[in-house]
């Protein structure tokens, strides 16, 4: 999407083909900085230090990391070593494993002398496929927004609430939850987004607000506490969020606080949609409450980074020294609170039948 | 309640009778500082600059402000001028108006020469009555906690979630929502409190955590997003919050985000109680959604104060420069989500009949 009027992805091959470039997301929203990844070690660092984040983007960075590695050492041992190094950067990231497994399998089939070209083609394909997937999600979500706009007087704004950052910065392009929003905006539908700040890591205030602002989408940052009130007062037409994992029965694991917004949406008759590429569906899991919830560092709760008054970045601690904090990173929204799952194939009800209806090959697979 | 083992109220007359002293709440939780109010102007400043906050404490500070004023000028014009100055500090504060109206009426009945003594007696009475009111609320709330403790194996902790600061720092002693918690703790019931940080102003992380820690009550600070997840997992036995205004039908206006916790409590069968002194009930209002919701400065959302790494205090801005923010300060929790209203007379169902049952004189008043 656009930054200062220019179309960007969060990762791309440098124009002269000498390196990979990324937007350094640790500097956002305070500074727009491009980082150059000239080696496999640079790519591993970018993932580990979270210069890139978001499951699809981590996978894409790993794929480009294999290309950088093959330029350094295209031998079998070079491939094995690159796989190990990149895999160790974020061991629990599903897309990371997927990209590295697929990349290694692809490269193992070609001679070392052809691996640089094969790795480049593989990385391009990973990126383009992610962009296409998200574009398709956006098309189906756009139809929902168009239908809501059609119930309003012409020109009246559609108000969307979103939580966390399921935006283009987390993917290769479009984002998931944001893809319908960008497509509605680009289609000329007047749209406004309520952006939950998303404590503790503030991905909404830091990243979603930055994305939307740069693409020219009207938005307002709110504290996570405010969404229920706005829904009670009719100021939200629909919610769209992303997800980290959806169980086969339609339960949705997503950033902590998603469940509270789904409850408020349900209580006020506001549609609550979850946007996801189908690889996010865990067909082996029939109860979302079996998904383990990561407990992250309490420092994320007690210490908030941001821009100091002198323009540099820093952090403030908000709790008294003796108080401890807890930091569950995700919650599970039960399927009964979800209006629909927006996938690349269309919108499914959040039920086992709904999901299998869109992915009938899974019935054949016995799932 | 206790600070470093010593019992404190947030306001008191200096030991030598020469002034009023308060805990400077703008410095919490980073520093425990006592401010001296030697003049009516000092008292007005303390209210205006929010060195004191919380409706009951504002009323108490205004009452002591009248005493300081009478020492300076006990004439009728001095009384009128003090009333005007103090009233202008926080024009919408109901307790401020109540304390000043009652104080002026009392002082008008005595000769100027007796006004210093009468004002001192009035201020003491305002403070002691508030402490007694909150102690009575706590006794009734304690019975609820005892009943929950009785359903658990002996010695197992009762987990309470609270939002914002309805603690002793907001009142003269005990607090409202915290009064049952302190009384349970003092009675030896093992109790643990989940403290919502309460964005945007972080009264939970700043004040409730500080209060509880200093009194020795076990507690954990969480982001506002986390409470729903904890309730889903059975880690909250009950919620107790305060309120700014309760309508005669039992709807509860309180700090933004209260409604989301009430929804989660209802969805998970967790009792949700609201603690309040009866003057908080607006008997003239039969629909809480008619309560106007204050929209506060967006700066409270975008800029977070705290302790910098060098130990001084400062603030960080979390949003990109071009993004605006909205800041509704309160929301309304519908009565249907409230398990009970804990008042100084006992626990009432959140219904017109429930409230009138505890306050039958209101039936006679035709309300």
Residue B233 pLDDT more than 60? yes
Identify the bridge partners of residue A240 per DSSP, sorted by sequence position: A273
pLDDT (tens digit per residue) in A285-341: 999 999 989 899 999 999 999 999 999 999 999 999 999 999 999 999 999 999 999
Percent of chain A with pLDDT over 70: 99
Structure tokens at A10: 């969060």
Contact A328 B230 (CB under 8 A): yes
Q: How confident is the model at residue A58 (pLDDT cuts 50, 70, 90)?
A: very high
The predicted model gives A102-123 an average pLDDT of 98
Structure tokens at A306: 């941001």
CB atoms within 10 A of CB B361: 8
Contact B239, B230 (CB under 8 A): no
pLDDT (tens digit per residue) in B292-335: 898 999 999 999 999 999 999 999 999 999 999 999 999 999 99
pTM for the predicted model, two decimal places: 0.95
> Does the ipTM exceed 0.90?
yes
Q: How confident is the model at residue A91 (pLDDT cuts 50, 70, 90)?
A: confident
Residue A358 pLDDT more than 60? yes
CA end-to-end distance (rounded Å), chain A: 37
Q: How confident is the model at residue A94 (pLDDT cuts 50, 70, 90)?
A: confident
d(CA A225, CA B330): 9
Contact B86, B43 (CB under 8 A): yes
CB atoms within 10 A of CB A140: 21
Chain B residues in contact with A3 (beta carbon < 8 A): none
Average pLDDT, chain A: 96
B94-108 and B115-150 are packed helices; what angle lies between their axes, rounded to 10 degrees? Answer: 140
Residue A59 pLDDT more than 60? yes
Contact A326, A294 (CB under 8 A): no
Q: How confident is the model at residue A214 (pLDDT cuts 50, 70, 90)?
A: very high
H or E element, residue A230: helix A227-232
Chain A residues in contact with B328 (beta carbon < 8 A): 226, 229-230
User: How much is the pLDDT for B253?
Assistant: 96
Q: How confident is the model at residue A129 (pLDDT cuts 50, 70, 90)?
A: very high
More confident residue, A224 or B294: A224
Percent of chain B with pLDDT over 70: 99
Cis peptide before A95 (omega within 30 of 0): no
User: How much is the pLDDT for A297?
Assistant: 95
Average pLDDT, chain B: 96
Residue B256: which of A38, A264, A246, A92 has the closest Cα?
Answer: A264
What distance in Å separates residue B330's CA from the closest CA in chain A?
8
The predicted model gives B153-163 an average pLDDT of 97
User: How much is the pLDDT for A298?
Assistant: 98
pLDDT (tens digit per residue) in B99-131: 999 999 999 999 999 999 999 999 999 999 999
Q: How confident is the model at residue B367 (pLDDT cuts 50, 70, 90)?
A: low
What distance in Å separates residue A258's CA from the closest CA in chain B?
8
What distance in Å separates residue A54's CA from the closest CA in chain B?
20
What is the 8-class DSSP label of residue A338?
-
User: How much is the pLDDT for B93?
Assistant: 73
What is the 8-class DSSP label of residue A210?
H
Nearest to B317 among A226, A306, A330 (CB): A306
User: How much is the pLDDT for A35?
Assistant: 98
Q: What are phi and psi of A108, to 5 degrees?
A: -65, -20
Residue that is written with structure tokens 């005990």 in the block: B174
CA end-to-end distance (rounded Å), chain B: 37
Contact B328 A229 (CB under 8 A): yes
Nearest CA in chain B to A267: B263
**Chosen from A225, A251, A288, A298 to mutate, greatest number of chain B CBs within 10 A:** A225
What distance in Å separates residue B172's CA from the closest CA in chain A?
22
CB pairs under 8 A between A and B: 228
User: How much is the pLDDT for B205?
Assistant: 98
d(CA A250, CA A254): 12
Chain B residues in contact with A331 (beta carbon < 8 A): 225-226, 228-229, 232
d(CA B285, CA A88): 61
Residue B272: which of B192, B342, B338 has the closest Cα?
Answer: B338
pLDDT (tens digit per residue) in B23-51: 999 999 999 999 999 999 999 999 999 99
pLDDT (tens digit per residue) in A6-50: 999 999 999 999 999 999 999 999 999 999 999 999 999 999 999
The predicted model gives B270-292 an average pLDDT of 95
Structure tokens at A9: 């992805």
Contact A326 B224 (CB under 8 A): no
Nearest CA in chain B to A258: B225
Q: Which of A24, A196, A224, A244 is catalytic?
A: A244
Nearest CA in chain A to B253: A229
Structure tokens at A149: 């706009």
Structure tokens at B73: 């000028």
User: How much is the pLDDT for A111?
Assistant: 97
Q: How confident is the model at residue B366 (pLDDT cuts 50, 70, 90)?
A: low
Contact B223 A257 (CB under 8 A): yes
Contact B228 A200 (CB under 8 A): no
Domain annotation for chain A: domains and CATH numbers:
2-128 (1.20.120.420), 136-364 (3.40.50.10470)
User: How much is the pLDDT for A367?
Assistant: 57
d(CA A117, CA A69): 12
């Amino acid at each position: 999407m656009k930054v200062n009027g220019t179309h960007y992805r969060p990762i791309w091959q440098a124009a002269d083909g000498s390196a990979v470039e990324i937007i350094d997301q640790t500097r956002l929203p305070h500074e727009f900085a491009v980082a150059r990844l000239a080696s496999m070690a640079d790519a591993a660092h970018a993932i580990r230090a979270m210069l890139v984040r978001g499951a699809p983007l981590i996978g894409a960075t790993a794929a480009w990391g294999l290309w950088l590695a093959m330029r350094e050492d295209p031998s079998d041992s070079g491939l094995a070593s690159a796989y190990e190094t990149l895999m160790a950067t974020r061991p629990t990231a599903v897309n990371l494993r997927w990209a590295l497994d697929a990349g290694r399998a692809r490269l193992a089939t070609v001679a070392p002398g052809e691996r640089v070209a094969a790795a480049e083609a593989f990385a391009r394909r990973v990126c383009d496929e992610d962009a296409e997937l998200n574009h398709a999600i956006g098309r189906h979500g756009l139809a929902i927004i168009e239908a809501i706009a059609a119930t309003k007087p012409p020109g009246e704004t559609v108000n969307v609430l979103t939580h966390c950052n399921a935006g283009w910065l987390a993917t290769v392009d479009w984002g998931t939850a944001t893809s319908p929003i960008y497509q509605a905006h680009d289609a000329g539908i007047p749209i406004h987004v309520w952006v939950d700040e998303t404590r503790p890591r503030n991905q909404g205030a830091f990243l979603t607000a930055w994305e939307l602002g740069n693409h020219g989408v009207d938005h307002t940052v709110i504290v996570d506490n405010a969404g229920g009130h706005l829904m009670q007062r009719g100021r939200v037409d629909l919610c769209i969020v992303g997800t980290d994992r959806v169980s086969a029965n339609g339960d949705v694991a997503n950033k902590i606080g998603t469940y509270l917004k789904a409850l408020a949406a349900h209580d006020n008759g506001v549609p609550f949609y979850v946007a996801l590429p189908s690889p996010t569906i865990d067909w082996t899991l029939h109860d979302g409450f079996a998904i383990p919830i990561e407990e992250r560092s309490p420092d994320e709760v007690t210490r908030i980074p941001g821009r100091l008054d002198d323009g540099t970045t820093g952090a403030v601690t908000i709790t008294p020294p003796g108080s401890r904090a807890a930091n569950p990173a995700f919650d599970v929204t039960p399927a009964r609170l979800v209006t629909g799952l927006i996938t690349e194939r269309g919108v499914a009800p959040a039920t086992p039948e709904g999901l299998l209806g869109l992915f009938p090959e899974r019935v054949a697979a016995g799932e």
